[in-house]
Structure 1
Amino acid sequence: MDDHYDIVVIGSGFGSLFFIKQHLQNKPNAKIAVVEWGENRDRNWQISNKRNSDFSPEQTHAQDKNHKPWNYTIGLGGGTNCWFGQTPRFIPADFEMKSRFNISDDWPFSYDDLEPYYMAAENIMSISGSDKMGRVSPRSGSFPLPPHRVSAIDEIMMAAQPNLHFPIATARSPLALQNRNQCCATAQCNLCPVNAKFTAYNGLTDILTHPNITYIMNAQAREIIHHNGIATGVMYLTVSDEERSIYGDLVVLGANGIQSPAILIRSGINHEQTGVGICEQLGYEFEIFLDGVDNFGGSTITTGLNYSLYDSHPNRENAGAALFYFENRVKHGLRLEQGRWRQVLPLLVAIEDLPQSSNRVTLNAQGQAYVSHASVSSYARAGLEHVNDNLSKILAPLPVERIVTLRERPTESHIQCSLRAGHDAKNFVVDGNSLHHKMSNLVVVGSSTFTTCPPANPSLTVAATALRAADKLV
């Protein structure tokens, strides 16, 4: 009986920890075990070793000849350790792609259904932002923290486009808090040197130290144990490759978008859509040279978000929506002209992709996760073309000297859509409450369950959907 729990959770990233937090709010006496592949590497270890984990992603999966990077962190806290803290919400249209644009699929719940959980997640993470963002993502309350100081460029854009340009919503604190310091704006967010960014270690310590939770570290979850269509436990490997099993009344699968489908496949939990559709946003970088306006005066790595081709996308049925990130870091160098070295804007554009059946997660001959990713969709490519056609008009409020197209980014580090959620049990792996369609007592959390791949960062939505899944379970 020592090995039997109310819940056995695989992984300890955003989805898992936010699910646990909400479940303990509802059932404070629940006995929970967390099976984590990696180590407990706190912030001091990360800073000293200049890395987030003992593992590199390439050690944990194989892939096809395209060798597209897929970034994730294996270790206690998962993606809460390595993210940059960008936390825009999705917008209402993202959840209704089929209904509004006759493209892809609708999510099995609406923006309004998720909005209370967006608020809850923002409060847990002490998100900084401007309530004016409610013009694109409606809000039932204010942000916990005020927005960061924006740049002079953002000031011009906000004055000209007040319904489309806003200070970024972020988990990097603009103030000194009890458990976090003020953002230092040195653009070292992957390993925040001053502990200003939300992580599990500074924002979920109640979960990491909870007496009802047993953390089993260095334990690679291999299979979900099931019998007669009911999930009953997890088989994992120790560092010495010894097989061990742990049992529970409920299993929560919260590994990332590559490892979660691999675990299901190894478990013989068969669904024809398992692993199908893995994708992330298409990222592109530009450099904008300006005449007479200095940049880099904001108080965080990214200062502004522009929704000109996102919320007001005039052609979204044919081309992916785009979100523009106005950056406050010297990413591509300073200008050489005397007195004009700051008159340049690094601009990142994230464009939504669509899940495609040609992109999927399977297993190789050794039983290791294997990723095949042929290409981004033509829909995303059309979105990039739409960006190129409209960028000058979007930036018209600025004194633009010239626009330089730099490069397509190899990855946005946002693995999504490999275990998609939807009402139809044949075409979707999980339902609207994050329950597996074909296996009882199995909950799946994380961005793998996203139905589509909007252009905004996914972490806040992962946290919100996990909170909602725990509530719906009760």
Structure 2
Amino acid sequence: MDDHYEVVVIGSGFGSLFFIKQYLNKKPNAKIAVIEWGENRSHSWQVTNNKNSEFSSSNTHAQDSHHKPWNYTIGLGGGTNCWFGQTPRFIPADFEMKSKFNISDDWPFSYNDLEPYYMAAENIMAISGSDAMGKVSPRSGSFPLPPHRVSAIDEIMMAAQPHLHFPIATARSPLALKNRNQCCATAQCNLCPVNAKFTAHNGLTEILTHPNITYFMNAQAREVIHHNGTASGVMYLTNNAEERSIYGDLIVLGANGIQSPAILLRSGINHPQTGVGICEQLGYEFEVFLNGVDNFGGSTITTGLNYSLYDSHPYREKAGAALFYFENRIKHGLRLEEGRWRQVLPLLVAIEDLPQTSNRVSLNAQGQAYVSHANVSSYARAGLQHAHDNIEKVLAPLPVEKIIPLRERPTESHIQCSLRSGHDANKFVVDGDSLHHKMRNLVVVGSSTFTTCPPANPSLTVAAMSLRAADRLV
């Protein structure tokens, strides 16, 4: 059953598919194999069955505490199926944490290095957004699609804070497109009922059906085959637990932030930082009662982003950045007062976390991925406190009646930093081009390679990094 390919790719989510797309742009005749643990399930199947995959992520790894879910989708398209389609870029300071704030580490490339690939990823996904966002994340071009209609609340905030408050950047289309419908604003983004958000099935069809690509479905990648410091193949298990091997000139590891380090550990590729630092943003929810301003008039699930506490000196030297999401969904109910039922704002705040050595992915006795995560960093806790202390200032343009702190969110479903990238081969697992420091011919893609954990959603940055990695490699 052995076979040989130019590229063998593990996983089929954002990191893997965007890498393949750029690789084929440069080398259109390349023979590629993709090893996918799950099934190929269409959008209609997902909606009909009310799930993205037959797999429950909680059954594919073990963990030391069940208070924290780690969500991911196993199936063709990976996270492109289950994401909500939020696509803000990171800001330049996110890549310079050590240089600017003396916190954690600098990324091995700059925002300017990644910016052309941000543009390319936005065009591939047909992102909707306002070019005014260039005030916080500089742009070399316009968004492919216009922004969604915002709420009356956003209009007040944008008028008062034009450099800090913007319409959401999103992969949910505000228009009917050739391969996607118009967002219906029913807040069912995990299983979009009208196929409005970008997924691999509607936006990367040419990759899923490419004649040069062979997809091995129901194939669980177990180990990277290597010899004398060079990766040469992948051993995987079939549904019948039969071991098979497949070989290639280049191996691309793009499972997810839990399964990718587990595969490396099972392979005996023992970099001391493998699995170390797994984290995600800390999420918190508020409910804001307003006086005389109605909400829920926007055209998508989240209408606005506010950056007031994102890059604020000197606070970021001691407290994690915060990004405010102005929600357009009736998440906590409506108000009970007659004539005022829409005068309420559900508000989500995402707080930057930092990777900690105490949080890691290892293997249990059965060789299964095992996640140890005691808590978020004190830096993230300080960022949350900073958000609590300053939320009234952030919302000062609005006629606020009262602000109700509600709860910490159990997860943001953004697994990051378990195979961090950086220049130092002893401190980081991969380099600035996504190549493994200790193993030749091995590329690692996905949010596992993030150096730090900014508050913005990671998927667009994953796509841009994968495009850049393939471009620089070829």
- Name the TM-score class by shorter chain: over 0.9
Q: In the alignment, what sits opposite 2:204?
A: 204
Give 1:220's aligned amino acid.
Answer: Q
Give 2:372's aligned amino acid.
Answer: S
Partner-residue secondary structure (3-state), 1:316: helix
Quick check: 1:120 aligned with 2:132? Answer: no
Q: In the alignment, what sits opposite 1:453?
A: 453
Preserved contact between residue 364 and residue 370 of structure 2 (Cα < 8 Å): yes
Preserved contact between residue 354 and residue 377 of structure 1 (Cα < 8 Å): yes
Q: CA offsets, 1:106-129, max 9 Å, x none? A: 000000000000000000000000
Q: In the alignment, what sits opposite 2:218?
A: 218
Pairwise CA distance, 1:312: 3.2
Q: CA offsets, 1:283-336, max 9 Å, x none? A: 000000000000000000000000000033541010000000000000000000
Distance (Å, rounded) in 2 between the aligned partners of 1:58 and 1:187: 24
Instruction: Give 5+ residue unaligned stretches, structure 2.
Output: none
Q: In the alignment, what sits opposite 1:87?
A: 87
Q: In the alignment, what sits opposite 2:188?
A: 188
Q: Report the aligned-residue RMSD.
A: 0.8
Distance (Å, rounded) in 1 between the aligned partners of 2:396 and 2:332: 22
Preserved contact between residue 66 and residue 373 of structure 1 (Cα < 8 Å): no
Instruction: Give 5+ residue unaligned stretches, structure 1.
Output: none
Distance (Å, rounded) in 2 between the aligned partners of 1:179 and 1:227: 44
Q: In the alignment, what sits opposite 1:62?
A: 62
Preserved contact between residue 185 and residue 299 of structure 2 (Cα < 8 Å): yes
Distance (Å, rounded) in 2 between the aligned partners of 1:306 and 1:5: 46
Q: In the alignment, what sits opposite 2:338?
A: 338
Q: In the alignment, what sits opposite 1:44?
A: 44
Quick check: 1:374 aligned with 2:374? Answer: yes
What is the correspondence of 1:94-109 to structure 2 with a 5 Å cutoff?
94-109=94-109
What is the correspondence of 1:72-471 to structure 2 with a 5 Å cutoff?
72-471=72-471
Q: In the alignment, what sits opposite 1:22?
A: 22
Name the TM-score, length of structure 1 as normaliser.
Answer: 0.99
Preserved contact between residue 313 and residue 321 of structure 1 (Cα < 8 Å): no
Q: CA offsets, 1:122-166, max 9 Å, x none? A: 000000000000000000000000000000000000000000000
Pairwise CA distance, 1:28: 0.3
Preserved contact between residue 184 and residue 299 of structure 2 (Cα < 8 Å): yes
Partner-residue secondary structure (3-state), 2:17: helix
Give 1:259's aligned amino acid.
Answer: Q
Partner-residue secondary structure (3-state), 2:316: coil
Preserved contact between residue 422 and residue 428 of structure 1 (Cα < 8 Å): yes
Preserved contact between residue 279 and residue 355 of structure 2 (Cα < 8 Å): yes
Pairwise CA distance, 1:202: 0.2
Distance (Å, rounded) in 1 between the aligned partners of 2:87 and 2:233: 33
Preserved contact between residue 2 and residue 246 of structure 2 (Cα < 8 Å): no
Give 1:417's aligned amino acid.
Answer: C
User: Do the aligned partners of residues 5 and 421 (structure 1) sit closer, same or farther apart at CA in structure 2, a change above 3 Å counting?
Assistant: same
Distance (Å, rounded) in 2 between the aligned partners of 1:57 and 1:180: 28
Partner-residue secondary structure (3-state), 1:470: helix
Give 1:243's aligned amino acid.
Answer: E
User: Do the aligned partners of residues 313 and 325 (structure 1) sit closer, same or farther apart at CA in structure 2, a change above 3 Å counting?
Assistant: farther
Give 1:36's aligned amino acid.
Answer: E
Identity %: 86
Name the TM-score, length of structure 2 as normaliser.
Answer: 0.99
Pairwise CA distance, 1:68: 1.1
Distance (Å, rounded) in 1 between the aligned partners of 2:65 and 2:310: 33
Give 1:93's aligned amino acid.
Answer: A
Give 2:17's aligned amino acid.
Answer: L
Distance (Å, rounded) in 2 between the aligned partners of 1:147 and 1:251: 38
Pairwise CA distance, 1:243: 0.2
Preserved contact between residue 185 and residue 300 of structure 2 (Cα < 8 Å): yes
Q: CA offsets, 1:67-119, max 9 Å, x none? A: 41000000000000000000000000000000000000000000000000000
Partner-residue secondary structure (3-state), 2:262: helix
Distance (Å, rounded) in 1 between the aligned partners of 2:358 and 2:66: 13
The more displaced of 421-430 and 307-316 is: 307-316
Give 2:307's aligned amino acid.
Answer: Y
Partner-residue secondary structure (3-state), 1:345: strand
Q: CA offsets, 1:160-193, max 9 Å, x none? A: 0000000000000000000000000000000000
Partner-residue secondary structure (3-state), 2:6: strand
Give 1:326's aligned amino acid.
Answer: F
Distance (Å, rounded) in 2 between the aligned partners of 1:280 and 1:178: 35
Pairwise CA distance, 1:261: 0.1
Quick check: 1:71 aligned with 2:71? Answer: yes
Distance (Å, rounded) in 2 between the aligned partners of 1:279 and 1:436: 20
Distance (Å, rounded) in 2 between the aligned partners of 1:427 and 1:161: 40
Preserved contact between residue 2 and residue 244 of structure 2 (Cα < 8 Å): no
Q: CA offsets, 1:407-431, max 9 Å, x none? A: 0000000000000000000000000
Distance (Å, rounded) in 1 between the aligned partners of 2:58 and 2:114: 34
Pairwise CA distance, 1:66: 4.8
Give 2:233's aligned amino acid.
Answer: G
Give 1:94's aligned amino acid.
Answer: D
Distance (Å, rounded) in 2 between the aligned partners of 1:59 and 1:33: 26
Give 2:472's aligned amino acid.
Answer: K
Pairwise CA distance, 1:2: 6.8
Q: Which runs of 4+ in 1 moved over 2 A?
A: 311-314
Distance (Å, rounded) in 2 between the aligned partners of 1:67 and 1:13: 26
Pairwise CA distance, 1:65: 2.6
Give 2:131's aligned amino acid.
Answer: D
Give 1:10's aligned amino acid.
Answer: I
Distance (Å, rounded) in 1 between the aligned partners of 2:13 and 2:66: 27
Give 1:88's aligned amino acid.
Answer: P
Preserved contact between residue 67 and residue 410 of structure 2 (Cα < 8 Å): no
Q: CA offsets, 1:334-374, max 9 Å, x none? A: 00011000000000000000000000000000000000001
Task: Name the count of aligned residue pairs.
Answer: 474
Partner-residue secondary structure (3-state), 2:53: coil
Distance (Å, rounded) in 2 between the aligned partners of 1:329 and 1:315: 31
